[in-house]
Amino acid sequence: MLDDRKSAILRAVVQQYIETAQPVGSSHIVDSTGIGVSSATVRNEMTVLEREGYLAQPHTSAGRVPTEKGYRFFVDELGDPGDLGPAQIRQVSQFFSHATGELEETLRSASGLLARMTATTAVVVGEPTEVHDIRSVQMVELSRTSVLVVAVTSTGTIFKRSIEPEAPLDVEQLARAQASVAEALIGSRTVSLATPTPTGDAVIDQVVEAAVGAVVGAAGDNGHSVYVEGASHIAAAFEASATLREVLQILEQQLTVVSILHDVVDRGLTVAIGSETGVALLAECSVVVAPLNISGQHAGTIGVLGPTRMNYRDTLAAVSAVSSRLSKMLTEG
């Protein structure tokens, strides 16, 4: 679509704009790249690039700035994700050598790692699998009127929710109820389909049903775990406090964050630029994502939210490195 020279010029504009945040003029391009033509030629090419929608001018007599289409071309063209710098390699391997076993804590700290590596805001979403391999169920009396139901899955995730039996249970009743709940849930891979077998005791059956319902409920809505780290980094990217406020608001709405990442992944993208995120308020932001897999199954999404003029090459490298190493670690337990 674009000949070699045009694409070289476009690439140069994007790169310089990412570095300096200033509109870049034709002579800068000549200076910074060994393009071997005069600035007038570059200007001619730039008007074409502008006409075709890759570049824009903030005003006449200013340099050019990439449009979303320009960034898109740039990102599509830089095929390989690039390599990590030595400092980042150290960060990653240090992190994974110290990583502990539990899913939530791992996801949270991985989010922190990514935020530090990329100096942007990192977002990690843990997918709610319908398939929970529940290993253990326990019912604990918290007070006379409430019982906490705790279920532990094979990944170390815990579902807990309290229920309030109509009448207090004695120790033996509680044990029988717990056994019945455990029988219903353990091994039933699709938790929501679990059905307890009646014990014949109406009081206990009622409690058992409530407890199973509690676990199913907790497994259902506890589903998407969202971890946002490094929100302060995005503050450095924007001057206007109004823009910043909007972005922070988005980050606070976990549902929105989840749906943005899902949308992007569903469309098969790795990078969503500006309006491609599907959120009008993120017009000046881009999202870079990678899937997390556990044993080949989609288990979540890891990504980064930064300004459209972020360093895509390095960010892509960091996101893909962390996602693959994290997937590997989670798969191996």
Partner DNA sequence: GCTGGCACTCGCGTACACTGAGTGCCAATC
Partner DNA sequence: GATTGGCACTCAGTGTACGCGAGTGCCAGC
The DSSP result for 274-291, as a single string, is GGGGS-GGGTTEEEEEEE
The neighbouring-strand residues paired with 150 are 138, 160
State the Cα–Cα distance between residues 226 and 136, nearest whole angstrom: 25
The DSSP result for 42-96, as a single string, is HHHHHHHHHHTTSEE-SSTTS-BEE-HHHHHHHHHH--S-----HHHHHHHHHHH
Q: From the list DNA, a second copy, none, pick the one residue 224 interacts with, judged by a Cβ distance below 5 to 8 Å according to partner type.
A: none
Q: From the list a second copy, DNA, none, pick the one residue 11 interacts with, judged by a Cβ distance below 5 to 8 Å according to partner type.
A: none
Q: Does 128 bind a second copy (CB under 8 A)?
A: no
Q: From the list a second copy, DNA, none, pick the one residue 150 interacts with, judged by a Cβ distance below 5 to 8 Å according to partner type.
A: a second copy
Binding mask 1-40 for DNA (x = CB under 7 A): ----x-----------------xxxxxx-------xxxxx
CB of residue 52 to DNA, shortest distance in Å: 13
Q: Does 290 bind DNA (CB under 7 A)?
A: no
Q: Does 101 bind a second copy (CB under 8 A)?
A: yes
# of chain residues touching DNA (CB under 7 A) = 25
Instruction: Select from 53-61, 94-102, 263-271, 301-309 the region that touches DNA (CB under 7 A).
Output: 53-61
Q: From the list a second copy, DNA, none, pick the one residue 40 interacts with, judged by a Cβ distance below 5 to 8 Å according to partner type.
A: DNA
Name the amino acid, one letter, at 19. E
Locate 266 and state its tokens: 């569903």
Give yes or no for a contact between 215 and 185, defined as CB atoms under 8 angstroms apart: yes
Q: From the list a second copy, DNA, none, pick the one residue 37 interacts with, judged by a Cβ distance below 5 to 8 Å according to partner type.
A: DNA
Binding residue (CB under 7 A) for DNA from 4, 59, 255, 266: 59
State the Cα–Cα distance between residues 66 and 7, nearest whole angstrom: 12
Binding residue (CB under 8 A) for a second copy from 6, 43, 135, 176: 135
Give yes or no for a contact between 327 and 292, defined as CB atoms under 8 angstroms apart: yes
State the Cα–Cα distance between residues 103 and 96, nearest whole angstrom: 13
Q: Does 252 bind a second copy (CB under 8 A)?
A: yes
Binding residue (CB under 8 A) for a second copy from 20, 94, 232, 275: 232
Binding residue (CB under 7 A) for DNA from 60, 97, 195, 241: 60
Give yes or no for a contact between 232 and 115, defined as CB atoms under 8 angstroms apart: no
CB of residue 30 to DNA, shortest distance in Å: 9
Q: From the list a second copy, DNA, none, pick the one residue 314 interacts with, judged by a Cβ distance below 5 to 8 Å according to partner type.
A: none
# of chain residues touching a second copy (CB under 8 A) = 39
State the Cα–Cα distance between residues 32 and 17, nearest whole angstrom: 12
